[in-house]
Amino acid sequence: GNEDSHRTTREKCRDQFDLTD
């Protein structure tokens, strides 16, 4: 759904940079 895409976008960015916000 839309929610999945919305959360994945931010989570993916964090995972890529390995940031612990």
**pLDDT category of residue 3 using cuts at 50, 70 and 90:** low
Kindly give the residue spans of alpha helices, DSSP state H, lying in the chain: 2-17
Residue 18 has pLDDT above 60, yes or no: yes
Mean pLDDT of 6-18: 73
**Of residues 17, 14, 12, the one with CA closest to residue 4:** 12
Contact status, residue 7 vs residue 14, Cβ threshold 8 Å = no
**pLDDT category of residue 14 using cuts at 50, 70 and 90:** confident
Residue 8 has pLDDT above 60, yes or no: yes
**pLDDT category of residue 15 using cuts at 50, 70 and 90:** confident
Contacts of 14 (CB under 8 A, 6+ apart): 20, 21
